């Protein structure tokens, strides 16, 4: 149930902001490759260089760019000073580094094959289990970047705390996902909407939705303890996003979304199987029990056929529309217009997305 990823950051027809953002990736990478804390050999520097280019900038960069966009909206300006743009982009890239760290390890745990339209990093020849250490290095790079560029800021400790908290919540959500899958393999009835919500809330919502906005708030000099309602809205948005992802895992075109969906084969506690369990009669449930979690394409086809029989596409569309209405109402209840604009910007980026 890892988040979907599509076209390359800085691909064709990009605007000036994406180009500036991509250039800052190059600056940060060069700093990391010259980090005086480690005595690099030529081969180790080349490995890190290649590993970063393969795993960090290859997605849509929505999370990272959202830090910059949110900061602009909070400041009420379309144009940032060079220093502000650099600091906001650096925090954005820290979020992208965190995403890369999670995905490199997530793909190993899920035994996935493709990510962002190319083989998963651990499946690249000569990489294999070295990818585990690469994940650890990716996580440590975040601390190195924060130390280099934010150590003198009043909010430095808050930034470190924020990334640590979000990483802990996400790793705990991943654990819940993995052990729930083991329990579900023994009894599919253990999967329900409450279990799904808890996994998604911790595994996806905090790092994908709350973290970019929290970074922008800290950069703006705000106290995060005053923004509990904003955190709640962003967590709900993250749940909605992951439900979309579960839907696209089954119904999306692999060429378009950049990965081959394996939630059915992997026995995942997906929103679709939870909805199927709620709606299926006894004979339909027996089809699910017999075929869910099997690698055999014929079994996968039977599950997908049952989803069609239960009209889960229509169920999803109803859920999507209702979620949007509730989120808009919650957003418009916020006292700050700037914060409302940040939240609406997030929602409009993901509403009815196709990848």
Tens of pLDDT, residues 203-244: 999 999 999 999 999 999 999 999 999 999 999 999 999 999
Rounded Cα distance between 166 and 21, Å, is: 23
For 325, the 3-state DSSP assignment is: helix
What's the chain's Rg over C-alpha atoms?
A: 21
Tens-place pLDDT, residues 99-149: 999 999 999 988 888 888 899 999 999 999 999 999 999 999 999 999 999
The residue range of the domain holding 29 is 20-151
Instruction: Give domain status of residue 52, yes or no.
Output: yes
- Cβ pair 130, 105 in contact under 8 A: no
Residues 6+ positions from 64 with CB-CB distance below 8 Å: 9, 21, 89, 92, 93, 95, 96, 212
| Contacts with 118 (C-beta within 8 Å, 6 or more apart), sequence order | 54, 58
In a domain? residue 218:
no
Cα dihedral value 193, 194, 199, 201, nearest 10: 100
Q: Which 8-state DSSP code applies to residue 2? A: P
> Does any domain span residue 251?
no
Average pLDDT, the chain: 90
Residue 100 is assigned to a structural domain of this protein: yes
**pTM across the whole model:** 0.88
Residue 168 forms part of a structural domain = no
Mean pLDDT of 64-89: 91
CATH number at residue 32: 1.10.600.10
Number of domains, the chain: 1
């Amino acid at each position: 149930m890892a988040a979907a990823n599509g076209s390359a950051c800085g691909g064709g027809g990009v605007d000036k902001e994406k180009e500036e953002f991509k250039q800052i990736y190059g600056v940060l990478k060069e700093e990391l490759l010259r980090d005086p804390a480690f005595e690099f050999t030529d081969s180790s520097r080349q490995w890190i260089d290649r590993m970063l280019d393969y795993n960090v900038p290859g997605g849509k960069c929505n999370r990272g760019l959202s830090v910059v966009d949110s900061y602009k909206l909070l400041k009420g300006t379309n144009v940032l000073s060079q220093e502000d743009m650099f600091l906001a982009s650096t925090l954005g890239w820290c979020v992208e580094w965190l995403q890369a760290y999670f995905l490199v390890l997530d793909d190993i745990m899920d035994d996935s094959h493709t990510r962002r339209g190319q083989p998963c990093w651990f499946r690249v020849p000569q990489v294999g289990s070295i990818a585990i250490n690469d994940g650890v290095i990716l996580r440590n790079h975040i601390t190195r970047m924060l130390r280099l560029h934010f150590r003198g800021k009043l909010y430095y400790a808050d930034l470190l705390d924020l990334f640590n908290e979000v990483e802990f919540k996400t790793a705990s959500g991943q654990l819940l996902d993995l052990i729930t899958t083991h329990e579900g393999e023994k009894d599919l009835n253990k999967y329900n909407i409450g279990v799904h919500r808890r996994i998604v809330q911790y595994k996806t919502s905090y790092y994908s939705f709350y973290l970019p906005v929290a970074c922008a708030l800290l950069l703006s000099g705000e106290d995060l303890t005053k923004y509990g309602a904003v955190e709640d809205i962003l967590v709900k948005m993250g749940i909605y996003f992951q439900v979309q992802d579960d839907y696209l895992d089954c119904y999306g075109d692999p060429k378009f979304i950049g990965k081959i969906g394996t939630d059915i084969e992997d026995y995942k506690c997906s929103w679709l199987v939870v909805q199927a369990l709620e709606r299926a009669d006894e004979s339909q449930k027996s089809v699910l029990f017999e075929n869910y979690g099997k690698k055999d394409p014929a079994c996968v086809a039977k599950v997908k056929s049952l989803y069609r029989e239960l009209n889960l596409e229509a169920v999803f569309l109803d859920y999507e529309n209702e979620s949007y209405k509730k989120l808009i109402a919650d957003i418009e209840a916020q006292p700050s217009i700037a914060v409302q604009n940040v939240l609406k910007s997030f929602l409009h980026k993901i509403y009815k997305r196709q990848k």
